[in-house]
Amino acid sequence: MLDDGFDGPSGNKGLFTSTNPELRRVVPDNVAGRVKVKVVYTVLEAQYQSALSAAVKAINASNKTVCFEIVGYLLEELRDPDNFASFKEDLASANVFIGSLIFIEELAEKIVEAVAPVRERMDACVIFPSMPAVMKLNKLGTFSMAQLGQSKSMIGEFIKSARKNNDNFEEGLLKLVRTLPKVLKYLPSDKAQDARNFVQSLQA
């Protein structure tokens, strides 16, 4: 069994003092001319980490054109200054950032602080249901949640409303995911495809 780098909570504040993000890092043994993609992810809990690490190791061992470096951070680990500094350092060289279930305001602020400066340089940011400020970081190809949030479209109005009312954000996001495919046909074809890919990632 792969080590998930998680030894359990400590104290009364939900701090994870016995964890080490380095135990969730997978680096290809030999790039050998392949395209290397670096993925940084943040999750609430580590239960899926072993399967993810195993999948990446399998790809690195067999794929002849691409390989992956991947490292994961538990959300609570970002309270630790050293972990947060490492998180930002990893993001500086990442191609993709993935986040999920970021609903603690102070930690959401840390995610935005770390990801926003490097977002445009990265190939993709995929954020699964989280607070509006974090969801705004989403981008996939020509699809950008930030741009939609500035528009007068149905999606833009949803984002603006969600910023004002965090309590119903997750429920509203699920409604948006169910509704968005119906309006994709009105978008230009290239943007529609990227938006469709984004919606499918949320539905997976």
Domain boundaries, the chain: 21-203
Order of strands across the sheet that contains 66-74: 66-74, 35-43, 96-99, 124-127, 139-140, 143-144
Beta bridge partners of 143: 140
Q: What is the pLDDT along the chain (204 residues), one digit of tens a residue?
A: 344 444 444 333 344 444 789 989 999 999 999 999 999 999 888 777 888 899 999 999 999 999 999 999 999 999 999 999 999 999 999 999 999 889 999 999 999 999 999 999 999 999 888 888 898 898 887 666 555 544 444 455 555 555 555 555 555 555 555 555 555 555 555 555 555 555 555 545
Phi, psi of 67 (to 5 degrees): -140, 165
- How far is the C-alpha of 115 from the C-alpha of 110, rounded, in Å? 8
Please tell me the pTM assigned to this model.
Answer: 0.68
